[in-house]
A and B are shown apart, each in its own frame.
Chain A
Amino acid sequence: AQSVTQLDSQVPVFEEAPVELRCNYSSSVSVYLFWYVQYPNQGLQLLLKYLSGSTLVESINGFEAEFNKSQTSFHLRKPSVHISDTAEYFCAVTRNKAAGNKLTFGGGTRVLVKP
C-alpha cells in the first residue's frame, strides 16, 4: 500500500514571495506522482504529474515539482505566487503498473496568499 504525507497543513505566504509545499510518499513499488489543486468551491484540477523521464516537471502557471526517488519526495514550488494561487493543494500517488490506478492522496496543504 502507498501513503502520502504533506508536512504542512497551512502555508501563509505574501504575494510575489516563493512557496514550497512538501510531499513525501511511501511505496514498495514504483509510482506515478501528481499534484492537484482545489480552488474554493471547485473540484480538483490536475496541476502537474510525474510519470517518467526528467525528474523536474512544470505546469503552465509557473509551478514546478521535482521527483526525488532517494528521498521519496515530490515537493511543489513556485518562485513568485499570486493572489489567485490561494487554494488547497493535494499530492497524490498511484502505482504505475497497477490496474485501476486508484489515487492515494495526502492530507492537503492550504495556501493563503496575502497582499
Chain B
Amino acid sequence: DTGVSQNPRHKITKRGQNVTFRCDPISEHNRLYWYRQTLGQGPEFLTYFQNEAQLEKSRLLSDRFSAERPKGSFSTLEIQRTEQGDSAMYLCASSLSSGGGNFQFFGPGTRLTVL
C-alpha cells in the first residue's frame, strides 16, 4: 500500500529549536497539501503545492514556517524558533489536479510537542 507517508510520526522539541517534517505523497499525485490540527479542532489549511510550485499559503503560515517541494515529489515543512503554540498534529495530503472533487488522501500526521 503506497499511501501518503509522513516522518517523523512524533517530535518533541524545546521552545526555540527548529524542526523539519517530511511528507511523501502518493507517487502519481501532483498536488500536495499541509494542514495543522490542534487538539479538539478540525484540520486547518496551511499551504499547497502543484508539482514544485507553492501556489497558496494561509495566513496561519507565519514567517517562521517554510515549506518546500523541490522536485515535485516529497515535501518538507520547517518551523523555525518553535513556540509552544506550534504544538499540533501536522497533516499532509496529496491529490491529482484533474477530475472532479480533487479528493485528498491524508497521511498519518506528525505530532509536534513543544516544551
Interface residues of A (CB under 8 A from B): 4, 6, 9, 32, 34, 36, 42-46, 49, 51-52, 90, 92, 94, 96, 99-108
Contacts and interface: CB of A to CB of B under 8 A. Distances in A.
Contact of A43 (B33, B40, B42, B91): B91
A51 B40 contact: no
A46 B105 contact: yes
A90 B31 CA distance: 21
A99 B106 contact: no
B72 to A, nearest CB: 16
Given A43-B106, A43-B108, A46-B105, A103 B43 contact: yes
28 contacts: A6-B42, A42-B108, A43-B107, A43-B108, A43-B109, A44-B43, A44-B91, A44-B93, A44-B106, A49-B101, A51-B101, A92-B42, A94-B102, A99-B55, A100-B56, A101-B31, A101-B95, A101-B101, A101-B102, A101-B104, A102-B56, A103-B43, A103-B45, A103-B104, A104-B45, A105-B44, A107-B41, A108-B42
Nearest to A108: B42
A4 to B, nearest CB: 7
A94 B103 CA distance: 10
